[in-house]
Structure 1
Amino acid sequence: MGDSSRMTCFFIYTLWRRIVLFACLLSAAPAWSAEILLTAAEDGAGVQAFAQALAQQRPEDRITFTPLKNLPAPGRLPANTRLILLDLPSLDWRLQETQGPPTLVLRISRLQAHQRLGTTPHPHISLLWSDPPLERQLRLIAAILPQARRIGVLYGADSEFLLPELRQHATPLGLEIVPQLWDNINDSRPLQNLFRNSDVLLGLDDPQLYNSKTAKNLLLSSYAQQLPLVGPNAGFVRAGSLASTYSDQTDWLAVLDRLLDHPPANWPRSLYPEHFKVVGNPQVARSLGIEQVDEAGVAIRLAEGEKRP
């Protein structure tokens, strides 16, 4: 056999080995492997809509949603997967192991993260906060209630860690934080004490203090004392507080789009969405004798202020 024939046979043999190896790798790849993998404990309509919106926004990527119950341990996922967690059970699952793919956590509040992680960040997890930034909420108060100086803040054992940061942001704005521990939601005396010493109440995103059981007492007391409540979130504004900043699905998709364009090594350990909106309750403003909140105009002013060095 000539040299040319031997070279041809060697080339065919090498090519065939590569084809067989590639086929074996494909057959061995688990069904849950993906470049961008979203997961949550519940596979509801909202979760599916979010996954579909992300897939439409990034058609060049391979994006899948897999219920949490169908996933292996985090360390068994392919290292090149970019994992997006959509609820707290999926975060608890991810925290079982240090090893695992780079992970973005959505829909988590500062308080929820503090309960699970304390002050020690996870080396492979980036937290995208769901609650409004404290500084942004204070600047919202300064924009819509410029006469307010004493900012009353109810706090509990779980949210007390936020007070130093609140004071840090309040000082440059000329605001004073008036904290009040509320460790028994059936006792209204702390509320009355805080109302007597405050110009406005800023709600922290603490579900132990702000929930369906406390809403009636908080809001009726606010109206009776003619003391506005700002925050803690957009849902509470619909229930009867004056205003809040918030980020919606469009804003979060913009954050994800930007982060997924960068290597996971460059992802921040935590991040607030750059884009946000303001929501106000006109009926509450009228009942308190306050000018209706110009939602779009105030949002623009706040965003411009955040862009300044």
Structure 2
Amino acid sequence: MSRQNLSHSLGNLPVPVRFGRRVLFALLQALSLLLILPAGNAAQGNIVIFSSSPAPVYDQVARLLKANLNEQCGDLGAECAPHQIHILAQEKAGERVVIPPNTRLIITLGQHAGQLIHDLDTGLPTLHALIPKSAYEQLGGGANHSAIYLDQPISRQLQLARIIIPDPHIGLLISPLTTPVRERLSAAAAIQGIPVTYRDVDDTHRLGPLLKEVLEESNVLLALPDPTIFNRSTIFNILLSSYHNKVPVIGFSSAYVKAGALIATYSTPEDIAHHLAETTRDFLHPGTGALPDPSYPKYFSVAVNRNVARSLGISLPDETDIIRQMLEDNKP
């Protein structure tokens, strides 16, 4: 019944009943507003960004990610914008983790955070970040789980090795955590004719002698994001031994380059947050609702220690030129 017909019918009613048509009109107007509201509001939910500690890097990525999501979700309108973004951190070990109700996606930052959410077995779509590929694979993944790895793809590591030395011979120190990396790297390097020497470090007390053997047989040492081998207790001795043997080190972070590695390709918090925001936006896009396959960081940076380069007699292009060269090499 149209509003005009309804008004005409109400006009014949007794005054006490006619008085109520104002209320009825108000209800009709409210109903019409509800009918034209975007359907995405009905799907409003929570996005949880969870880290296992208030470490500065986790806090930085979380806040950059939230800002990126708020900016990028504007393009999706109601399908994305209404979601509430919660930044959660486990302040103390053993502290209970509470996921808000109506959560559509959990984003974990760090290996320990990924393990905690995995153990909770929430059944919710989960996107892991700042976690090595090997550690993510140990979690077992799942149909509604994915990751943006902490480590860089092997192709970038091989590119850096060739940029440093025309005929590289890569040296590796491997723990049980990074055994799969050795296998993938050795296979990729063999295709390009790059020899690889490695030693399995089952006992960290033998790290020194094993490092000496690797440095004697290689001309570039590739450091992996493996906390068993490359940590605060070992970093100085590894870099110092490599330097004395005139073997440049390819690191995995800008901090490692500052400490004495020659070069590193890595993803900054801005790079990771940007990639996470894009993945989340695509997940929330109407008709998608699925996470992509795990992947290496899409965006990356390069850092060079010029003092180490001069001491080793290695001439390197500007960082921007190195990145440009790497991107050009990857074009089909």
TM-score range, shorter chain: 0.7 to 0.9
Q: Residue 289 of structure 1 corresponds to which residue in structure 2? A: 313
When residues 71 and 211 of structure 1 are mapped into structure 2, their CA distance, relative to the original with a 3 A threshold, is closer
Counterpart check, 1:65 vs 2:87:
yes
1:254-301 alpha-carbon deviations (Å, 9 max, x no partner): 212321221364422311122111111111111211114521111111
- C-alpha distance in 2 between matches for 1:293 and 1:205: 25
Q: Residue 105 of structure 1 corresponds to which residue in structure 2? A: 128
Counterpart check, 1:55 vs 2:75:
no
Q: What RMSD in Å do the two structures reach over aligned CA positions? A: 3.1
Question: Whose RCO is larger (CA < 8 A, sep 6+)?
Answer: 2
Counterpart check, 1:227 vs 2:247:
yes
Q: Where does 1:1-309 land on structure 2 (aligned, <5 Å)?
A: 34-43=45-54, 46-57=57-68, 58-59=70-71, 60=74, 61=81, 62-68=84-90, 71-72=97-98, 77-78=101-102, 81-115=104-138, 117=139, 120-148=140-168, 150-187=169-206, 188-263=208-283, 265-306=289-330, 308-309=331-332
TM-score (norm 2): 0.75
- C-alpha distance in 1 between matches for 2:320 and 2:119: 43
- C-alpha distance in 2 between matches for 1:295 and 1:137: 15
Secondary structure, aligned partner of 1:296: helix
Amino acid at match of 2:250: V
TM-score (norm 1): 0.80
Cα deviation, residue 114, structure 1: 3.5
- C-alpha distance in 1 between matches for 2:163 and 2:223: 17
When residues 194 and 105 of structure 1 are mapped into structure 2, their CA distance, relative to the original with a 3 A threshold, is same
When residues 277 and 48 of structure 1 are mapped into structure 2, their CA distance, relative to the original with a 3 A threshold, is closer
1:216-240 alpha-carbon deviations (Å, 9 max, x no partner): 2212211221111112333211111
Cα deviation, residue 144, structure 1: 2.4
Amino acid at match of 2:181: L
Checking the alignment, whether the CA contact within 8 Å between 2:171 and 2:220 is kept in structure 1 is yes
Cα deviation, residue 70, structure 1: 6.9
- C-alpha distance in 2 between matches for 1:175 and 1:275: 26
Percent identity for Structure 1 against Structure 2: 26
Checking the alignment, whether the CA contact within 8 Å between 1:111 and 1:205 is kept in structure 2 is no
Tell me the number of residue pairs that the alignment of Structure 1 and Structure 2 aligns: 286
Structure 1 stretches of 4+ with a deviation exceeding 6 A read none
Rg larger for: 2
1:161-219 alpha-carbon deviations (Å, 9 max, x no partner): 21111022212322112121223333322222212211211112111111122122212
When residues 290 and 173 of structure 1 are mapped into structure 2, their CA distance, relative to the original with a 3 A threshold, is same
When residues 255 and 36 of structure 1 are mapped into structure 2, their CA distance, relative to the original with a 3 A threshold, is same
